[in-house]
A and B are shown apart, each in its own frame.
Chain A
Amino acid sequence: MSAEQNSAQAFTGQKTGLGALQFLAFGLGMAHALTPQAVWIGLLLLAVGFAPSVYRVVRAFHNVCSHRGSQVCWERSGTRGSTTSFKCPYHGFTYDLEGKLRFVPDEENFYGLEKDRMGLAGVATDTWEGFIFVHLSPKPAETLRAYIGEIGDGLAGYPFHEQAHQYSYRAVLNCNWKLLISSFLEGFHVRSLHAAGLRRFVSNNNPYSHLDFVKLLDKHRLISLFVNPAASPTRLADIAFSRYRKSLQSSSNNLPSSGSDAGGGTSKGSALDKFLIRNIFPNFQLNLVMGGWYAYQFWPLAVDRVLWETRMCFSKPVNATQKFFQYYARYASRDNLMEDGRVTEHQQLAIKSGVIKKLTIQDEEIAVQHFNKVVEDYTRSTSA
């Protein structure tokens, strides 16, 4: 492919466009791993409650009080383990986990109040392989399974729930959400930006970390980062990985035994020798890594601000060696991620200056271009 150009304007964007988009990955955990709690991001509110006695029910609502429209939950996104109700801080209107309006202060002073019609406005929810998604339309035109489509190939029944020991990070960056996501859609920047990634992701034969393969789907994309099997580990990486492998051999806490090809059909070798990035449009990224999986969620807060939540999940560690390895694994990723986060802020400032009118793209950045094309198409279709 010859060098392509891309609109600088599209990257900084005048609107986030997310509200008009499709299924959004949502929530800090997986449906079956959650205890009753609430999670909220901006104008979305996720409530996980228990139906009478047995099964968990996941509900999502607009985080908007039906009285005079304040946000019901104000604090930064997070969880409240024992939440049984949502109380709007403004006047104290209180809703239960099903979204029903349960308490109105000074109720007798309202006239003709239809309490049973003043619950929190619902948002559709569904789950895929245990991951919670929401859809702003009460009745989505397509099912979540159809929406996920081919990007989910090879993951049916993948034992995500066996690797539910979770560590999370949170960052609010001063950049457009698309810039941050784009930084995970190519390996071209590894050689320059990521000293810590250099040993693993480049080789003499592949000095610029050309991707193993790219799959561009209708809305989603899958890229496989090159991993150099001959890279010499650092001293501590060697200790962490060697001990971890030995520890797995002598414990029942094993790597996923799934025989399916989680790489999506065209990869060779096991998923654990690879670094696969599944970018599930619009706001979710799922990486399979050694001993676990990472999930990123991206939430535009404004044109030039994004909330970035990173979850790194592993099997429950059964001994100190496994805890040590898990700390090493997420820390090694963290050093690189903190560079990705910072560079996108510098990019935002630079693009906003208007000095360059076009962004230039090379072959290895094709998934970046694909992602932005899909965003553009959605934005155009919803603003028409």
Chain B
Amino acid sequence: MNTANSDRPLPEGFEDLEQFVEQWALAEEQARMHKRWSSSLEEIQRFYDAMVLRVEPALDYLDARNIERLSASENRLLYLTYSLVEVANAVEIYGQPASPHALPPERFVPVERL
């Protein structure tokens, strides 16, 4: 079911984002939350600045595929767009990884979908 791209970190054309795969292409929402809370604003900003310019091409690329049958590399690209969402408020609103008034991430826990 995987396409020829499956052995690459990301689909062709997104090589510039490969540097972020290890840290930010996280499959689970809770892992993305922990990554956001445990990162410095500088690290978040670097990812945000690169990713926000590439999110629309990434979604255009993925929209042309069957969402139920993404290859491993295509899924990693999707996860990078999710991680961009995860850090957006850190950069755009709070100026720090998370709201200083929020519960810690381990106390507001995503539950596995039914």
Q: Given A169-B108, A171-B109, A320-B81, decide whether A342 and B67 contact each other with a Cβ distance below 8 A.
A: no
Within 8 A of A (CB), among B89-106: 89, 92-94, 98-99, 101-103
Query: Is B114 a contact of A29 with CB atoms below 8 Å?
Result: yes
Is the interface on chain B under 10, 10 to 19, 20 to 34, or 35 or more residues?
A: 20 to 34
Query: Is B92 a contact of A321 with CB atoms below 8 Å?
Result: no
Q: Given A195-B94, A196-B99, A243-B56, decide whether A320 and B107 contact each other with a Cβ distance below 8 A.
A: no
Q: Given A168-B111, A339-B99, A341-B103, decide whether A320 and B88 contact each other with a Cβ distance below 8 A.
A: no
Is the interface on chain A under 10, 10 to 19, 20 to 34, or 35 or more residues?
A: 35 or more
CB of A349 within 8 A of chain B? Answer: no
Query: Is A331 a contact of B111 with CB atoms below 8 Å?
Result: no
A residues in contact with B29, CB < 8 Å: 167, 327
A164 to chain B, nearest CB (A): 9
Q: Which of A34, A317, A319 has the most chain B CB atoms inside 10 A of its CB?
A: A319
CB of B46 within 8 A of chain A? Answer: no
Q: Which of A236, A240, A317, A341 has the most chain B CB atoms inside 10 A of its CB?
A: A236
A residues in contact with B114, CB < 8 Å: 28-29, 33-35, 37, 79, 81, 166
Supply 18 further A-B pairs (C-beta < 8 A) apart from A28-B111, A167-B113, A338-B98: A28-B114, A29-B114, A37-B114, A168-B110, A168-B111, A195-B99, A196-B89, A236-B92, A319-B63, A319-B67, A320-B59, A320-B65, A320-B67, A323-B78, A324-B81, A331-B86, A331-B88, A342-B103
A residues in contact with B108, CB < 8 Å: 169-171, 334, 337-338, 341
Query: Is A170 a contact of B78 with CB atoms below 8 Å?
Result: no
How far is B59's CA from A321's CA once the two chains are assembled, in angstroms?
A: 6
Query: Is B85 a contact of A324 with CB atoms below 8 Å?
Result: yes
CB of A117 within 8 A of chain B? Answer: no
Query: Is A323 a contact of B101 with CB atoms below 8 Å?
Result: no
